[in-house]
Amino acid sequence: MFRRLMALLFISLLLVPTLLAQETTNPWNDSHALAWEYDFETGYISTSPLFADEQIVVRTSGNSEPAVTAFDTNGNKTWQRLNPASTNNDMSPLLLVQPGEGECGMWPEMILVGWTNGVIEALNPSNGEVLWSIQTEVIGWGVTGQLALDGEFVIVPTRQGIGQYCLADGQQQWWTETGLGWRNGVAVDDTGYFIGDESGQLWHVNRTGMATSYDLQLGKIRHAPLLTDAGIFLHAQQDSSGLIAIVEPNDGHVLQQFPTGPSPALPSLQGDYVLTGDSSAVRIFICSTECEILDEVPFHTNGEIGWYENGMIYAPSNTFDSTWGLFTFDGRENLTVQSLDVGIQGYGTAAPLQYIVGGVLFTAFGNDHGVLRVYSEDATNELPPNNESPPNNQSSPNHESSPNHEFSSSVQGLVFVMYLLLGSSTVSLLNGKKEWFVRMFSLFILILCVLIVPDLSTQWSQTFDEKFPETSASEEWNEQWPDTWLGTQIVIIEIDGEEHVLGGFVGHETVFSLTQAACNEFGFELSSSSTELGMYVDSIDGVEAEGWVFAVDGSKGVVSSDQSKIESASIVRWSPV
């Protein structure tokens, strides 16, 4: 009787491989299919693409030649505008301008591009031809913030000022000096323009160029101020945290404050609602007579947040092994998030692009790996017309290339072996062969652990991150460093109590690669050895100590330096043990 009961138990375990073999899907992936992709191979996609003249237009920068590149709706490259002189990471979002007419003259549809070498270009969306170009100031960096439209003018945040330029020909109307800024966009209202700076000042500039500053001392203001009914919404970056402030626009006094996590994202405004993000959470506010937090969810994002007319909210998770967040707001008080795997993981700050072609909604994702992936909401996506082959560096929209729509052959093989082992162990038990039963069943349990432990580890890690979001202090920008290092990769090496600091690096993907480059510049000998766990740094400039440890943006390294990924503006610190 006992043997029969045990046999029944083991036979019921046959369901385990079946359950493991069932594919875990998510509703978004069920309703979307990969349409096409393009690999830029090097460089970053750090701002959201835009859709103009039936083309997807993407800007890239970093260690590749900075460029604006256009693709048709099938993923074929149609034109590219290069700017080799823009040597820093370009973060000013592309701006699409509709045709119009004013006292300055007439202008066609155009794409405005702000470059870090201070150049503003107006491009023809159909072929990338330069319609006009102007040079603005450069103090280490040129234009990094969001441009704004005001009638027949474009308002440009330059490195240390703000200017008004005609859309018809780029002619400067005036330029006014403000504070030193970085990624500081412009907001427009009936009274003029608002802009923040690195010292925490909020500037108001009227339409004749007269400026007034409010020294708020909140921290670095690195986004375009949001104009709400409750006041001007600012999310400032402080040394190891963030601070949201609601400011009275007429006199600049602070009405409300909300502490947040470090490294704020660019907040997004829809009606009375504001979405914010940082390294700890995404929050939603309602701002009518005053601002109030409705809800928040743990999530790490430091760039653009895409909030679209259809209610969809996307944000890139800016960590080395991360995916994307799809947020849902119920219009009342509840904000939820689910993780999306769109096939490109890692650091990212660019919001996706959504556009419609032929009644079908497409979503384009890109991040610091320089890969652009476009998904169709129609799961029955077709190949390009006339059976054309996908262009170079692209994948056809087949079943195998779509994430979460594949079940690896290795896992299938393990599941098949599990069936055999479970069946054999059951037969052995029924025949009284206990030794063979123990052997077979032990192998079954071992394979089961191989299959489920990684998922359990991932779930535990996600649960831990949600319950205990990262709040540790990050390595912060030192005001004594050259402005040319701002937004680049920086290395700090501690030797004999002295800090050796060097910045201005771009394009390095790992701590080890960046450290090698820095040691070459310093003239330090870097001694390392390869281990099963990765590269181990034995000594720097002859100093061995008891080993070397590193931190990235204030967080201690948890993997080897050659496997530790970094982003475009990471600060790496090496210390002897």
For residues 559 and 421, state if they share a domain. Answer: no
Chosen domain end from 357, 380, 404: 404
For residues 417 and 490, state if they share a domain. Answer: no
Higher-scoring residue by pLDDT: 562, 442: 562
Rounded to an integer, what distance in angstroms lies between the CA atom of residue 422 and that of residue 433?
14
Q: In which band, very low, low, confident or very high, does the pLDDT at 439 lie, cut at 50, 70 and 90?
A: confident
For residues 434 and 373, state if they share a domain. Answer: no
Task: Specify the pLDDT at position 569.
Answer: 83
Rounded to an integer, what distance in angstroms lies between the CA atom of residue 39 and that of residue 566?
19
For residues 205 and 102, state if they share a domain. Answer: yes
Q: Mean pLDDT, the chain, as a whole number?
A: 84
Domain count, the chain: 4
For residues 382 and 520, state if they share a domain. Answer: no
C-beta separation of 213 from 178 below 8 A: yes
Question: Is 266 among the domain residues?
Answer: no
Contacts of 86 (CB under 8 A, 6+ apart): 61, 66, 115, 116, 117, 119, 142
Radius of gyration of the chain, Cα coordinates, nearest whole angstrom: 27
Rounded to an integer, what distance in angstroms lies between the CA atom of residue 288 and that of residue 368?
37
Rounded to an integer, what distance in angstroms lies between the CA atom of residue 181 and that of residue 464?
37
Give the β-pairing of 119-123 and 130-135.
antiparallel
Question: Is 15 among the domain residues?
Answer: yes
Question: Is 494 among the domain residues?
Answer: yes
For residues 180 and 50, state if they share a domain. Answer: yes
Question: Is 229 among the domain residues?
Answer: no
3-class state of residue 277 by DSSP: strand
Chosen domain end from 387, 404, 421: 404
Question: Is 11 among the domain residues?
Answer: yes
For residues 425 and 507, state if they share a domain. Answer: no
Q: In which band, very low, low, confident or very high, does the pLDDT at 459 lie, cut at 50, 70 and 90?
A: low
Q: Which of 551, 483, 478, 489 is nearest to 518 (CA)?
A: 489
Chosen domain end from 197, 224, 251: 224
For range 487-496, the mean pLDDT: 90
Rounded to an integer, what distance in angstroms lies between the CA atom of residue 150 and that of residue 153?
5
For residues 389 and 415, state if they share a domain. Answer: no
Rounded to an integer, what distance in angstroms lies between the CA atom of residue 181 and that of residue 395?
40
Least confident of 52-66, 471-485, 498-512: 471-485
pLDDT (tens digit per residue) in 390-420: 344 444 343 333 334 444 555 566 666 666 7
Q: In which band, very low, low, confident or very high, does the pLDDT at 247 lie, cut at 50, 70 and 90?
A: very high
Beta bridge pairs of residue 346: none
Give the β-pairing of 571-576 and 489-495.
parallel
For residues 214 and 352, state if they share a domain. Answer: no
Rounded to an integer, what distance in angstroms lies between the CA atom of residue 530 and that of residue 391?
39
CATH number at residue 516: 2.170.130.30
For range 160-168, the mean pLDDT: 97
Highest mean pLDDT among 222-226, 387-391, 471-475: 222-226
Question: Is 50 among the domain residues?
Answer: yes
Task: Tell me how crowded residue 343 is: count the other CB atoms within 10 A of its CB.
Answer: 17
pLDDT (tens digit per residue) in 325-378: 999 998 888 999 998 889 887 788 899 999 999 999 999 999 888 899 999 986
pLDDT (tens digit per residue) in 88-100: 788 999 999 999 9
Domain span holding position 381: 27-38+299-404
pTM: 0.71
Contacts of 370 (CB under 8 A, 6+ apart): 39, 40, 41, 42, 43, 44, 45, 60, 62, 64
For residues 361 and 459, state if they share a domain. Answer: no
Beta bridge pairs of residue 211: 205
Task: Specify the pLDDT at position 319.
Answer: 79
CATH number at residue 131: 2.130.10.10
For residues 455 and 488, state if they share a domain. Answer: no
For range 192-218, the mean pLDDT: 96
Question: Is 559 among the domain residues?
Answer: yes
For residues 98 and 113, state if they share a domain. Answer: yes
Question: Is 382 among the domain residues?
Answer: yes
